[in-house]
Structure 1
Amino acid sequence: MTDQTPLRSGGRAARRAARAKALPDHMRPIRPGMEGGTYKPLTEAGVEAIHRAALTALEEIGLADAPETGVAYLTEAGAVQGDDGRIRFPSALVEDALARANRAVTLFARDPAHDLELSGTRVHYGTAGAAVHLVDVEDNSYRECGVQDLHDAARITDTLDNIHFLQRPMVCRDIPDNREMDLNSIYACCAGTMKHVGVSFTDPDFVANGLELLHMIAGGEDKWRERPFVSNSNCFVVPPMKFATESCRVMEECIKGGMPVLLLSAGMAGATAPSTVAGAIVQAVAECLAGLVYVDAVKPGHPTIFGTWPFGLDLRSGAMTGGSGEQALLTAGCAQMHHFYGLPGGAAGGIADAKMPDMQAGWEQMCSNVMAGLAGLNMVYEAAGMHASLLGFCHESLILGDDLIGQALRCVRGIEVNDETLALDQMREVCLGGPGHYLGTEQTLSRMETDHVYPRLGNRSSPKEWDELGKPELVRNATAKKEEILAQRSRARFDAETDRAIRARFNIHLPA
């Protein structure tokens, strides 16, 4: 035994050194774009019924308040404007648009390693929202958020393996001019992360400046159009069943500028959408199908994400319930409808109604994130950092969300069954004259990194070890991690010449 100890110790040291190295992407236990789709809350008959109801709603009810440009596009395509001004959509028109729609969309990133392939049941998690407050965990308070907070969120996102994209999660409340706010949001996000970015525009007249800024970042309009690394999150409807006139015009300008579009329908079940889960999904599907016809009329084949985002509502108080089981069902049901149509789609998951990153936040965020992933939702928006039903964003919660989504992704990966994983050979070796346990066996050690996901901040030590470590606290550790990240220079920073040119052209509020 004494003679073998150095060898065993050396073997362990070698294995530890191997485990410390980053695994190749194809061997990682979790990664962007893993396929879900095993969870289906709707029956096949239910899916068909929702589809038929959506077509009926479009044909008989239609949508109001289309802009003049939208009326022209849609009626030329075959939609009908009634005497009441509403645009109605014959079922054949919708089916034709569906037949022409993209079955796959690539959302590019400035770093190609972070490109997102949206198709089938491939799952990606990221941020989104328009929070007006930043959550301060030091004193359990809320304050208005600003452009520096948005930039910091982007910088943090860039370092987190399980946050795959950054859609602007908060509003720059310290910039009163809307044009400057839109442009600074683009700057703050793109200067903070090399991952794909999603932004919004408050006015169609601001899109041209936004595209000019993106051309400068990309190194020219041709390079931007080749790899558009920013998409437009577009609330093109005001539920129930009305177009958002100005947002539609924004959408038209973004399409012309080569920017991918997220068609976002965000009805509130019981307020601006039917109170039933099925009814809310019907309306969201109908509205997004109308948006799909609209995009097809402007530019067939334009990269589009089918963004059914119905939200839950507490009917006792009228408060939003983003962290509820009903919300998880809404999101998973929408994912199933995306697969029925074969369209790249996104919806909301991971929202916490809890005001702080506490136990309530944990169960709320995990519930919808897991169900969205298992349902095979291509883009799980608002998956980390969102509190108070989208009113607050928390940097610490974003970091903790990386751990949480890691566990959700392990659920998405599921259970592989083959000769190796059935482990009969291991059972024979261990049980028939072996040590009687699987600890330290070659098979166990060889798969401990490829099969298992280990939290970076979550604590799995015993009470005794936890005490000896100084009783580490989860949120406090997240704060320390945040400070560590923000102390480093962002890899996404623009080169000095580009940054000077941008600042000479636009009023950038972040310090140079």
Structure 2
Amino acid sequence: MLDTEKRKGRSGGRAARVALRSAPLAENMRPVRAGLPGGQYRPLTDAEVLRIHHAALDALEQIGLSQAPPSGVEILTKAGAILGDDGRIRFPRALVEDMLAKAARNITLHGRDPQYDLHLTGTNVHFGTAGAAVHVVDLATNTYRDSTAQDLHDAAKITHALDNVHFFQRAMVARDISDNLEMDLNTIYACCSGTTKHVGTSFDDPSHVAPSIELLHRIAGGEEAWRARPFVSNSNCFVVPPMKFAEESCRSMEACIRAGMPVLLLSAGQAGATAPAPIALAIVQAVAECLAGVVYVNAMAPGHPAVFGTWPFVSDLRTGAMSGGSAEQALLTAGCAQMHRFYDIPGGAAAGISDSKLPDMQAGWETGITNVLAGLSGLNMVYEAVGMHASLLGFCLESLVLGDDVLGQVLRTVRGIDVTEDSTSIEAMKAVCLGGPGHYLGSDQTLALMQTEYIYPTLGNRMSPKEWNEANRPMLLDQAIARKNDILSKAQIQIDPAVDAAIRADYNIYFK
């Protein structure tokens, strides 16, 4: 009798907990959400931050950058940069400091739906996709195939359904499109028609910016609406490390700025290859290159929204191959986040990349470790956080789904421990220990906190071995495939049907 009563009591408590978990929470009550403040982890001391800053200024003043386009030379020298006889542009310290003072702070990257706006201030953390993978991981055959516009559109639709993936930057190259302009246009439309979260894209050619902006005006409902809330940013590799401008990308950046599009100033050197091997000096080079970008942007348009995109990567020095999932990568990213805070400007870097070819245990530890350090360091924009395999060469839709669980746990660590008068009161302990049931299961405090203090995985399995056997031993990848298929079966296009029909009539759209 007693055992039966216990089972009934526990069953009732579990039912109550299940009911509570299924009830939707207000956004401000959720245990994790976009924009939680990080900054708890600081791999650099204040003195080390200053040392890196001064070294970056030295590099800009003494080495400078080469190969600026003529338009860039005019913009930079007019602002006070110095063009040397060797063709390199050098940046006096005072110029860099002046432009840092003009740089935009506390910017918002807009979603088409305002609920997805990203407020880049302080140590607020946001996770999303990025990259230019040329393959898709096919889990049906455990092989890689060329990525397509449909894959990109599907990834956008999946991202739209995931709570912990806050923005969608182009993650794949549409290799089924041979015309580069058509590829750029399809990339924008595949992303925007899949999600109303903020989107990031890039351009192969400066001449592609104008027709792409025209498409964005149509999606937004006109130029005025676009300029009021630009919902796409330009991911711009304006430098080719070490310390060279990328002429075509610089011209694209100029065109995007004139069109009112936010820019990501992206420096992506590879330590030991295109960046110095010491982790600290790799950060110095990335900071110097991005500071040159700050001068460029603010000399052209003071206060234009720009993300300080220090993205130094790591080489496996045994082979020279990229190692995006390494501990060194995690340290590089966290160190860069500290530099962003030092300058008090919005910043982004890469984390979550796996060198593994499939969503396996290696992918799990690489994704988890690098994203945790990025989040705890207070990085505003964590790019490439989910889905990326083979050191950025492959993208996996199922890993995108699995990554939502990973990022939920990461965000919970970012939120940290709430230490308040209520959360440290011993009254609940008294009620349990002094004549109470001797446990906290089903207590009012436990039930009140189970949704707001704790986060639960969507796919992660917490069954006992007995329960797992009784449930037919569900496998994680099978669950991920099922959830991916379920999301795609229910996803709707995020463009007004009449606008979509008109765009499809005027453009050669490669996806359904």
TM-score range, shorter chain: over 0.9
- Partner residue of 1:382? 384
Take 1:503 and 1:272, find their aligned partners in 2: how far apart are those partners? Answer: 42
**Alpha-carbon deviations, 1:359-408, whole Å to 9, x = none?**
00000000110000000000000000000000000000000000001000
Take 2:161 and 2:406, find their aligned partners in 1: how far apart are those partners? Answer: 15
1:114-193, aligned counterparts within 5 Å? Answer: 114-193=116-195
Tell me the CA shift for residue 504 of structure 1: 3.0
Take 1:52 and 1:94, find their aligned partners in 2: how far apart are those partners? Answer: 12
- Partner residue of 1:434? 436
Take 1:25 and 1:422, find their aligned partners in 2: how far apart are those partners? Answer: 25
Any idea what SS the aligned residue of 1:421 has?
A: coil
Unaligned stretches of 5+ residues in structure 1: none
- Partner residue of 2:311? 309
One-letter amino acid of the structure 2 residue matched with residue 424 of structure 1: I
When normalised by structure 1's length, the TM-score is 0.97
CA contact (8 A) 2:13 2:441 kept: no
Take 2:13 and 2:436, find their aligned partners in 1: how far apart are those partners? Answer: 20
When normalised by structure 2's length, the TM-score is 0.97
Any idea what SS the aligned residue of 1:420 has?
A: coil
Take 2:183 and 2:320, find their aligned partners in 1: how far apart are those partners? Answer: 30
One-letter amino acid of the structure 2 residue matched with residue 499 of structure 1: D
Any idea what SS the aligned residue of 2:309 has?
A: strand
Tell me the CA shift for residue 489 of structure 1: 3.6
- Partner residue of 2:87? 85
Any idea what SS the aligned residue of 2:281 has?
A: helix
Tell me the CA shift for residue 88 of structure 1: 0.2
Q: Is structure 2 residue 508 aligned with structure 1 residue 507?
A: yes
**Alpha-carbon deviations, 1:93-141, whole Å to 9, x = none?**
0000111111211000011100000010000000000000000112110
Any idea what SS the aligned residue of 1:376 has?
A: coil
- Partner residue of 1:267? 269
**Alpha-carbon deviations, 1:1-26, whole Å to 9, x = none?**
99999999778656543431111011
Tell me the CA shift for residue 35 of structure 1: 0.3
- Partner residue of 1:240? 242
Take 1:9 and 1:389, find their aligned partners in 2: how far apart are those partners? Answer: 47
- Partner residue of 1:109? 111
- Partner residue of 2:301? 299
- Partner residue of 1:68? 70
- Partner residue of 1:94? 96
One-letter amino acid of the structure 2 residue matched with residue 249 of structure 1: R
One-letter amino acid of the structure 1 residue matched with residue 496 of structure 2: D
**Alpha-carbon deviations, 1:421-466, whole Å to 9, x = none?**
1141111111111121111111111101101110000000001100
- Partner residue of 1:366? 368
Take 1:293 and 1:329, find their aligned partners in 2: how far apart are those partners? Answer: 27
Take 1:401 and 1:114, find their aligned partners in 2: how far apart are those partners? Answer: 19
Let me know the Cα RMSD of the aligned residues. Answer: 1.6
One-letter amino acid of the structure 1 residue matched with residue 345 of structure 2: L
CA contact (8 A) 2:405 2:459 kept: yes
**Which is further off, 326-335 or 418-427?**
418-427
CA contact (8 A) 2:149 2:186 kept: yes
Take 2:505 and 2:213, find their aligned partners in 1: how far apart are those partners? Answer: 16
Take 1:461 and 1:73, find their aligned partners in 2: how far apart are those partners? Answer: 61
One-letter amino acid of the structure 2 residue matched with residue 379 of structure 1: M
Take 1:177 and 1:428, find their aligned partners in 2: how far apart are those partners? Answer: 71
Take 1:412 and 1:64, find their aligned partners in 2: how far apart are those partners? Answer: 40
One-letter amino acid of the structure 2 residue matched with residue 455 of structure 1: P
**Alpha-carbon deviations, 1:78-100, whole Å to 9, x = none?**
00000000000000000001111
CA contact (8 A) 2:315 2:322 kept: yes
- Partner residue of 1:496? 497
CA contact (8 A) 2:13 2:442 kept: no
CA contact (8 A) 2:157 2:491 kept: no
**Which is further off, 57-66 or 14-23?**
14-23
Take 1:18 and 1:38, find their aligned partners in 2: how far apart are those partners? Answer: 31
Take 1:6 and 1:314, find their aligned partners in 2: how far apart are those partners? Answer: 57
The change in CA–CA distance for 1:7 and 1:401 in structure 2 (over 3 A counts) is closer
- Partner residue of 1:39? 41
**Which is further off, 434-443 or 154-163?**
434-443
Any idea what SS the aligned residue of 2:334 has?
A: helix
Q: Which of residues 198, 202, 212 is equivalent to 2:200? A: 198
Tell me the CA shift for residue 500 of structure 1: 2.5
The percent identity for this pair of structures is: 66
**Alpha-carbon deviations, 1:267-315, whole Å to 9, x = none?**
0000000001000000000000000000001111100000000001100
Q: Which of residues 233, 250, 255 is equivalent to 1:231? A: 233
One-letter amino acid of the structure 1 residue matched with residue 511 of structure 2: L
- Partner residue of 1:352? 354
The change in CA–CA distance for 1:402 and 1:6 in structure 2 (over 3 A counts) is closer
One-letter amino acid of the structure 2 residue matched with residue 211 of structure 1: I
